[in-house]
Amino acid sequence: MIYIQSIVFLLLAIAGIGLFVRNILRIRRNIFLGKKEDRSDNSSQRWRLMFRIAIGQGKMMVRPVAGFFHIVVYAGFIIINIELVEIFIDGIFRTHRYIGHTFPAPLYNFITGTLDILAFLVLLSVTVFFIRRNSIKVPRLNSKDLLGWPKIDGNLILIIEFLMMTALLSMNAADSALQKIGATPSVGYFPVSNFIFGSLFSTFSAGNLVFIEKSTWWFHYVGVLFFMNYLYFSKHLHILFAFPNTYYANLNKKGQLNNLESVTKEVKLMMDPNADPYAAAPEGTIPEKFGASDVTDLSWVQLLNAYTCTECGRCTSNCPANITGKKLSPRKIMMSVRDRIEEVGKNIDKNGSFVDDGKSLIGEYISAEELWACTSCNACVEACPILINPLSVIMDLRRYLVMEQSAAPQELNMMMTNIENNSAPWQFSQSDRANWTKE
């Protein structure tokens, strides 16, 4: 029997971890369907940024309530996972609290006491998050961007974390009750779980307590494996990707837009009196497309951004276009990029390589109306706590509309024609430009 339990434990671990690795590799493949972009510079600055923004949660406290409870969940989650070491040892070797019998009692009591308190704090925080979403109905978490799966996902993740923490606390309390009646050796310190469940569990028989202890232990273990695999389908992927995403963030000043190399070359050529306008362009210098119409025209950093987005809506709630009733939502832009790259990835999985599905990011997922509503103010970039850049996506899609489709709004087309003909955005000729000085 003991032998079978260890085998079941190991088989579950292999299946759970195997699926998780497969999912991560699939996402990695999808991200690198994006165009090359060199972000290998300034590694020490990048490490500092990651420490400050992701590990140190540097931008989270801008919204103090969400920020505070998030720090509790974040720190609690990471520390509580230390427990997995013991779960693995006990699961494989069918021991009971192996570390407790190996470490000095005061140290083990300190560890278990801390984890017990943290589990309760995480439970409290996810409850606050749930109330914030469903009772207080914070507008940015209840807008139409989140209709359907994103709304369900937001709640589901909180419910899963709630159940896992409840299982952990019940397991500790049942263990403690068994220790009190001498059914198991006394080990560990569980102040909060005893406080919550202690008096209730003291009325239970040893058999019932063993059942609770064992079933909650298995529930917690299977829950961790399920949670790992659920990440792929969820905005919760951020718990892994927030770290690389902040590391590879844009280090340039926010207002600095990247010029297209091919266009810069073209302009330089126009300005060079010695250049031969009929000379053929050197091989490889003409891009297959200006700007981006689909996800594979975006860079891998932009696709990583999309997978990292927490759908928190801080960008959208700061977007002047959105606030003044325009169709644009930078959060929805990032969600659309993720939905489309997932669709492209599934297409590749099914067909071996991408088979044209007649769709693209512009049109099917993001409309020109949304793109032209953007004022390029950078408020979304400034607001994002994980350094995502929705504006860069908007700009690349607009570039496609302008340079490949000549589909800019009429006002812009007029301005660009004026620049082309008059070297100024106004509608009068260069020779009249100094007329005002005559008055």
Burial of 192 (0-12, 13-18, 19+ CB in 10 A): buried
> Which one of 15-23, 69-77, 105-113, 187-195 is the stretch in contact with ligand HEM (CB under 6 A)?
69-77
| Both structure tokens of 415 | 């301005």
Q: What secondary structure letter does DSSP report for 265?
A: H
Name the minimum Å distance from CB 350 to ligand HEM: 32
Q: Which does 74 bind (CB under 5 to 8 A by kind): ligand HEM, ligand SF4, none?
A: ligand HEM
Tokens of 116: 């017990």
Question: Quick one: what does residue 16 bind among ligand HEM, ligand SF4, none, with the CB cut-off 5 to 8 Å set by partner type?
Answer: none
- Which entry of ligand SF4, ligand HEM, none binds 375, CB below 5 to 8 A by partner kind? ligand SF4
Q: Does 154 bind ligand HEM (CB under 6 A)?
A: yes
| Interacting partner of 378 out of ligand HEM, ligand SF4, none (Cβ under 5 to 8 A depending on kind) | ligand SF4
Member of 54, 118, 209, 249 binding ligand HEM (CB under 6 A): 54
Which of 171, 212, 231, 242 is the binder for ligand HEM (CB under 6 A)?
242
The option from ligand SF4, ligand HEM, none interacting with 321 (CB < 5 to 8 A, set by class) reads: ligand SF4
Nearest to 19 by CA among 233, 220, 218: 233
77 binds ligand HEM (CB under 6 A): yes
**Number of residues lying near ligand HEM (CB under 6 A):** 26
**Residues sharing a CB contact under 8 Å with residue 168, sequence separation 6 or more, in sequence order:** 80, 83, 115, 119, 193, 216, 220
Task: Return the exposure string of 178-191: e unless at least 16 CB atoms fall within 10 Å of the residue's CB, then b.
Answer: bbeeeebeebbbbb
- Which tokens in the block code for residue 164? 């896992």
Q: Does 242 bind ligand SF4 (CB under 6 A)?
A: no
Partner from ligand SF4, ligand HEM, none binding residue 212, C-beta < 5-8 Å depending on class:
none
Binding mask 254-293 for ligand HEM (x = CB under 6 A): ----------------------------------------
DSSP state of 35: B
Residue 334: contacted member of ligand SF4, ligand HEM, none (CB under 5 to 8 Å, by partner type) = ligand SF4
Nearer to ligand HEM, 159 or 257 (CB): 159
Query: Of 361, 346, 381, which is closest to residue 254 (Cα–Cα)?
Result: 381
Q: Which is nearer to ligand HEM, 35 or 63 (CB)?
A: 63
Q: Any idea of the CA torsion for 222, 232, 379, 323, to the nearest 10 degrees?
A: -90
Instruction: Give one word for 284, left, alpha or beta, with left for phi > 0 and alpha for psi -120 to 50.
Output: left
Q: How far is the CB of 308 from ligand SF4 (least distance, A)?
A: 7
Rounded to the nearest 5°, which phi and psi values hold at 216?
Answer: -70, -30
Which range in 98-106, 326-334, 357-365, 417-425 contacts ligand SF4 by CB under 6 A? 326-334
Task: Please calculate the CA angle 235-236-242 and round it to the nearest 5 degrees.
Answer: 95
Written as six digits, the tokens of 220 are 């917690």
Least distance in angstroms from the C-beta of 65 to ligand HEM: 9
Residue 223 binding ligand HEM, by CB under 6 A: no
> Do the Cβ atoms of 111 and 82 come closer than 8 Å?
yes
Q: Considering only residues 383-402, where is the footprint of ligand SF4 by CB under 6 A?
A: 383-384, 386, 388, 390-391, 394
The tally of CA atoms less than 13 A away on the side-chain side of residue 434 is: 1
383 binding ligand HEM? (CB under 6 A): no
Rounded Cα distance, 121 and 125, in Å: 6
From candidates 128, 218, 320, 416, binder to ligand SF4 by CB under 6 A: 320
Task: Say how many Å lie between the first and final Cα of the chain, rounded.
Answer: 102
Residue 35 backbone zone (phi > 0: left; psi -120 to 50: alpha; other: beta): beta
Q: Which of 74, 189, 197, 201 binds ligand HEM (CB under 6 A)?
A: 74
Residue 432, classed as helix, strand or coil, is: helix
How far apart, in Å, are the Cα atoms of 140 and each of 70, 133, 147, 148, 403? 16, 9, 12, 15, 34
Q: Where do contacts with ligand SF4 occur on this chain (CB under 6 A)?
A: 309-315, 319-321, 328, 330-331, 334, 374-380, 383-384, 386, 388, 390-391, 394
Q: Where do contacts with ligand HEM occur on this chain (CB under 6 A)?
A: 53-54, 57, 60, 63, 66, 70, 73-74, 77-78, 126, 129, 133, 154, 157-158, 161, 238-239, 242, 310, 312, 314, 385-386
